[in-house]
Structure 1
Amino acid sequence: MVGALSTASPAYAALPAPVADAYVVSTQALGGVVAVAPSPESAYPSGGTRTLVGLDVGPVATTSVLTATTAGNPVDGTASASATVDKLGLDLGVASVALTGVNSTCNATPTGATGSGLIAGGTVTVGLLPVSLQANAPADTRVDVPLVGSIVLNEQTTDADGVLTVNAVHITLLPSLNGANLVIGHAQCGGAEPAAAVPMINPSVAGTGGGAVLAGILATVHVRRRNARSAASTV
């Protein structure tokens, strides 16, 4: 009987409120080259679209528009995130990387999240030898690059709360190159149980015990909103 009840219950995520995060590029420092903070970055709440027209910082160079967008709806427990850039180059010192058509997306509901991190094309050049990167690669496609490190295309991981993280390109350099991490096209999202609707108050009750009923309802709403804000602040 317990098993039947468990099966019938909705598979809500453990989060008290939906969350999302997106950025186009983030790199750790490469020797004497400065690190690049997540840029541009959007996070829900409050969500919205953030853009940069070109970027030339640390190992990153592009004249394209970088766009990161997040959104969410606590009423139905959904969230979404996306990160895009048309062209982007990386100078890793021992190698260079050229990417086109970077597009990462993440969409979450109370029952789970799906997404993809794709590129239209890319190459890694070590010396004079270019290595092609697969377009629209399956999830978690790994490419080992001699003298450089490893690259994972369409990297996808899900944590215990059901939050999905998608990276279109995740480069991990060898320890001799500081073991730095570079992420291009990051989209993260997690759904939550839909927010409960506040019941209507019967006017005939308000004059007697209605005040206590209303106070209890408002207290529940306050606690729920406080928990949602607390959860979002830790992401």
Structure 2
Amino acid sequence: MRPIFLRSGGLAVTATVAALIATAVPASAATGGASAYGVQVTVTLLGQPAVTQTPIPVANASGPTSASLASLTVPGVLSASALQVNATQNPTTGEDKSSATVGSATLGLLTAAAGGTAPSASAITATCDATQAGEQGSTTIGTLNLGTLGNGSVGPNIAPNTTIALHVGTATIATLVLNEQIHNPDGSLTVNGVHLRLLTGGLGAIGSGDVILSSATCGPAALPTPIASGVGLWAGLSLLAAIGVTAGLLRRRRANAPANA
């Protein structure tokens, strides 16, 4: 009966050690809310069909974590170049990082309103970082040229939700929000580098809809996942090795035992 007891006891110990090893393997934090895209368009100009461009290019912490696009043209609305987006999560700390850059953009839909010259901007970068302390975002813009539509000067530090009214004479036709920061219901933060909103109705209305350039979202940061010590892993492997040796000795002993034992 003794070999049976040892065999059953060895199985129990093996199961326990296997569970120990499973918990000792490093685990990753759950994927957070980090994402980014370069351009999104949903616009309907007066007398024209609706124009839609889904977010492009797109990056997400769950993959792909980076994407780029050399150039993009949305006919009658805009042209853009050198689009680059990134979104990652630190698997140990759970912290999110995302960024989106549009190297240059020209808003062709405002050409007529601006007296023949399309407003433009360059080096539009939005960033969003989420840590256990919270979320924070920022936007930098190299140049902003609005022509006759409004004051387009920007400094090195753009305050969140800086709003510029675009107007033709005394009629406001749109608003331009720089460094737009939106705190979402799920606790994440979205930073839009440039958000053009066409005003519906009114004397200067040219259509309706939105154009977003450089958008980054992050957070809330996932809770860090505890990782067991490597010492526990090696101890578990050593115990499994010892059990294997013991089982081999028992099998050899039984094989050599007299048939009537």
Question: TM-score of the superposition, structure 2-length normalised?
Answer: 0.64
Further displaced range: 93-102 or 138-147 = 93-102
Query: Does 2:64 correspond to 1:50?
Result: no
1:149 to 174, 187, 193: 174
Distance 2:184 2:226 in 1: 25
Unaligned stretches of 5+ in structure 2? 1-28, 241-261
Q: Go from structure 1 to structure 2 and tell me whether the alpha carbon gap of 1:161 and 1:130 turns closer, same or farther (over 3 Å shift).
A: closer
Please report how far the alpha carbon of residue 16 of structure 1 lies from its aligned counterpart in structure 2 after TM superposition. Answer: 5.8
For residues 181-214 of structure 1, the C-alpha deviation after alignment (integer angstroms, 9 at most, x for no partner) is 111110111111112335757759x99xxxxxxx
Larger strand proportion, structure 1 or 2?
A: 1
Retained in 2: the 8 A contact 1:17–1:193? no
Q: Is residue 91 of structure 1 aligned with residue 108 of structure 2?
A: yes
1:196 aligned to which of 217, 223, 226: 226
Give distance in 1, aligned partners of 2:182 and 2:61.
19
List structure 1 runs of 4+ shifted beyond 6 angstroms: none
- Show CA shifts across 1:59-110 (max 9, x none): 1213x31101111123211111111122111112434320011111111112
Q: Any conservation in 1 of the 2:126–2:139 contact (CA below 8 Å)? A: yes
**Residue 34 (structure 1) aligned with residue 51 (structure 2):** yes
Aligned residue for 1:92, secondary structure, equals: helix
Matches within 5 A, 1:120-131: 120-126=142-148, 131=151
Q: Compute the displacement of 1:162 (Å).
A: 3.0
2:93 to 57, 67, 76: 76
Counterpart contact for 1:167–1:184, Cα < 8 Å = yes
Which residue pairs with 2:212 in the alignment? 183
Equivalent position to 2:136, from 89, 97, 114: 114
How large is the Cα RMSD of the aligned pairs?
2.5
Structure with the bigger percentage of helix: 2
SS at match of 2:225: coil
Question: Aligned-pair distance for 1:130?
Answer: 5.7
**Structure with bigger gyration radius:** 2
Q: Kindly indicate whether the alpha-carbon contact (under 8 Å) linking 2:150 and 2:164 is maintained by their aligned counterparts in 1.
A: no
Which residue number corresponds to residue 16 of structure 2? none
Identical amino acids, percent of aligned pairs: 28
Q: What is the DSSP-based 3-state SS (H/G/I as helix, E as strand, rest coil) of the residue aligned with 2:51? A: coil
Q: Which of 187, 192, 195 is residue 167 of structure 1 equivalent to? A: 192
| Alpha-carbon distance in 1 for matches of 2:44, 2:199 | 11
CA contact (8 A) 2:129 2:218 kept: yes
Deviation at 1:157, TM superposition (A): 2.0
The letter for the 2-side match of 1:106 is C
Structure 1 runs not aligned, ≥5 long = 1-14, 208-235
Q: Structure 1: how far apart are the matches of 2:184 and 2:72?
A: 31
**Secondary structure of the corresponding residue to residue 97 of structure 2:** strand
Letter in 1 for 2:129: N
Q: Tell whether the 8 Å contact from 2:84 to 2:100 is kept in structure 1 after alignment.
A: yes
How far did residue 41 of structure 1 move?
1.0
Give, in whole Å, the separation in 2 of the partners of 1:179 and 1:196: 50
